[in-house]
Structure 1
Amino acid sequence: MLTQAPPVVCGACSYAIYVNPRPTGGVVLLRGSSFATEFLAIRRVRPPREGHWDLPSGFCDGFEHPASTAVREAREELGVEIELGDFTGMYIGMYEFQGESLPVLDCFWLATIAAGEITLDPAEASEYAWFRLDSPPEMAFRTMDAVLRDVMTSRSSVRLVR
């Protein structure tokens, strides 16, 4: 048990404990032309933000690069192989977990489906939909709203990977 809020140092072994942001990897999965670009969103089936639209993404495993996380999460959540395109950015956000607001560093890449048909993992999502980039729904997390705005703003330079 911690004797105070982090950062704190263990008196017995001198191990320092910090509350560092948790890294994530995710994708803005695109299809269509530059004038009618669509992105894929999935509907969350578990807290936090159950029932809201989400981008395929998740927390990095120990020592996993966020780009590898993005590819793994797309495979796990959608059942497809993806091809990563440009890195869109890293966004600082919050994630509610076990009664705490934890800081996160959400890293996103543009991506396209390279192989397979979408087959949702029912433990992750109840449905998926393609939305126009210029009229997205409210997303589960503010960082996702931000990355979609940024991709839309720079869409003239968005290059779809084929």
Structure 2
Amino acid sequence: MTGPAGRHCPRCGASTGALPARCAACGYESYLNPRPTGTAIIVRDGTFLAIWRVREPRAGFWDLPGGFCDAFEHPADAAVREAREELGVTVELGEFAGMFIGSYDFQGERLPVLDCFWLATITAGEIDLDPAEGSEYTWLSLADPPEMAFPTMDAVLRNPVVLRSRSRLGR
């Protein structure tokens, strides 16, 4: 897996080298910036909701509801939207749990991502898992989470903000 090669200038189509690159034909500069994501860590009674991932990359691992931001979408709004799309529920975001630089393998390339996480609670709806996202869901212990689909998820679940939520939300 490699990073995007920036093969052609997005403005004039001239050949370019690997990113970052400055087009020799028109001067346009292209960069390889992280793609932002928004993810909800839905918590209840000292547990968090996890989805068994069915999509590549990383199919066959536990995942959190989240995904890439749409154009000009704030990561918090993406987290709420993704929970609705993947689980059929409305969530309310709580405390910001952290952001981490990670990677996402897509179409043979490794892309940088900026994964943003919020603690969340379900405020409306019953869980109706989108089968394109996951084959099952469960509530896992915040005290002993399994290996997750992406290292940034492993990191955030060890974050003190999340760990403190065990006692605050462990009613």
Whether TM-score is above 0.5 comes out as yes
1:104 corresponds to 2:117: no
- Tell which deviates more after alignment, 11-20 or 68-77: 11-20
Of residues 41, 58, 61 in structure 2, which corresponds to 1:28? 41
User: How many residue pairs get matched?
Assistant: 155
Distance 1:56 1:12 in 2: 43
Distance 1:31 1:63 in 2: 31
Question: In the alignment, residue 105 of structure 2 is paired with which amino acid?
Answer: E
User: Unaligned stretches of 5+ in structure 1?
Assistant: none
Question: In the alignment, residue 42 of structure 1 is paired with which amino acid?
Answer: I
The answer to whether the Cα contact below 8 Å between 2:143 and 2:163 also exists between their aligned partners in 1 is no
1:113 corresponds to 2:126: no
- Tell which deviates more after alignment, 147-156 or 117-126: 147-156
Question: In the alignment, residue 119 of structure 2 is paired with which amino acid?
Answer: L
* Mapping of residues 76-155 of structure 1, within 5 Å: 76-150=85-159, 151-155=161-165
Distance 1:71 1:80 in 2: 9
Distance 2:74 2:24 in 1: 33
Rg: which structure is higher? Answer: 2
Match of residue 53 from structure 2: 44
Distance 1:109 1:14 in 2: 40
Distance 2:56 2:50 in 1: 16
Structure 1 residues 70-118: Cα deviation after superposition (integer angstroms, max 9, x where no partner): 0000000000000100101111111111111111100000000000000
Distance 1:16 1:122 in 2: 40
Question: In the alignment, residue 45 of structure 1 is paired with which amino acid?
Answer: V
Match of residue 27 from structure 2: 14
User: Unaligned stretches of 5+ in structure 2?
Assistant: 1-6, 9-15
Question: In the alignment, residue 20 of structure 1 is paired with which amino acid?
Answer: N
Of residues 51, 64, 86 in structure 2, which corresponds to 1:55? 64
Distance 1:123 1:13 in 2: 42
The answer to whether the Cα contact below 8 Å between 2:97 and 2:162 also exists between their aligned partners in 1 is no
Percentage of matched positions with identical amino acids: 67
Question: In the alignment, residue 129 of structure 2 is paired with which amino acid?
Answer: L
TM-score, normalised via structure 1 length? 0.90
The answer to whether the Cα contact below 8 Å between 1:79 and 1:120 also exists between their aligned partners in 2 is yes
Match of residue 75 from structure 1: 84
Match of residue 5 from structure 1: 18
